[in-house]
Structure 1
Amino acid sequence: MVVIDLEGKSSIADHMIIASGRSTRQVASMAQKMVERIKKAGGTARIEGLPNADWVLIDAGDVIVHLFRPEVRSFYNLERMWGFDDTAEGNA
């Protein structure tokens, strides 16, 4: 799991979380559980990509979450696109 600080870099969100599941079933389950917990805590969340579950995006306002299958995550490589250095603070 990687957390990227977007504050000052983008107006879409303050933080981006990128994580992987081992299969489409696991990615879908992770996404559904995350949206359920966000809503239970009083937040709002929109979810995209759940039917295929290769890449699911959850928009929770100030936080954007990308959940991938490993092969899809490698292909899109969002960490590199956003200039994330895995030695920097913020990775988990």
Structure 2
Amino acid sequence: MSLDKLKQNIIEILEDLKSKDIVILNTKLNTFLFDEMIIVTSSSDRHGRAIASNLYKIKGKLDKHIKIEGIENGDWIIVDLEDIVIHIMQREYRDLYDLESLWTK
């Protein structure tokens, strides 16, 4: 699956699950670890877990490993799809860590 198709599938899942404030950052110039970062806001820990679980279902379409961190708490979950990393954060964590500012400087 191409990177654009993967990103499109991810965005569809995020929008279907009512994720808020979806931001896509191109990180190719900042790191060699991944090409893009997607940051979204979840409304609760349960909502964050549901988003991560649905993103995990993409695994069947990929020949890559998927790693998920933080699903136990649900307040900040990272889904690593190798080329794209998704941060699912509750509002207070997103405001506190302000990843958009860190990665766009």
TM bucket, shorter chain? 0.7 to 0.9
State the TM-score, normalized to the length of structure 1.
0.85
Structure 2: distance between partners of 1:7 and 1:62: 10
Structure 2: distance between partners of 1:2 and 1:63: 12
Structure-1 residue corresponding to 2:59: 39
By how many angstroms is 1:28 displaced? 0.6
Structure-2 residue corresponding to 1:56: 77
Structure 2: distance between partners of 1:82 and 1:16: 9
Q: Are 1:2 and 2:3 matched, yes or no? A: no
Runs of 4+ aligned residues of structure 1 deviating over 2 Å after TM superposition are none
1:1-92 equivalent positions in 2, closer than 5 A: 1-36=22-57, 38-42=58-62, 43-83=64-104
Q: Percent identity?
A: 30
Aligned Cα root-mean-square deviation (Å):
1.2
For structure 2, the residue ranges without an aligned partner over 5 or more in a row are 1-21
State the TM-score, normalized to the length of structure 2.
0.75
For structure 1, the residue ranges without an aligned partner over 5 or more in a row are 85-92
2:60 counterpart letter in structure 1: K
**Structure with the largest fraction of helix:** 2
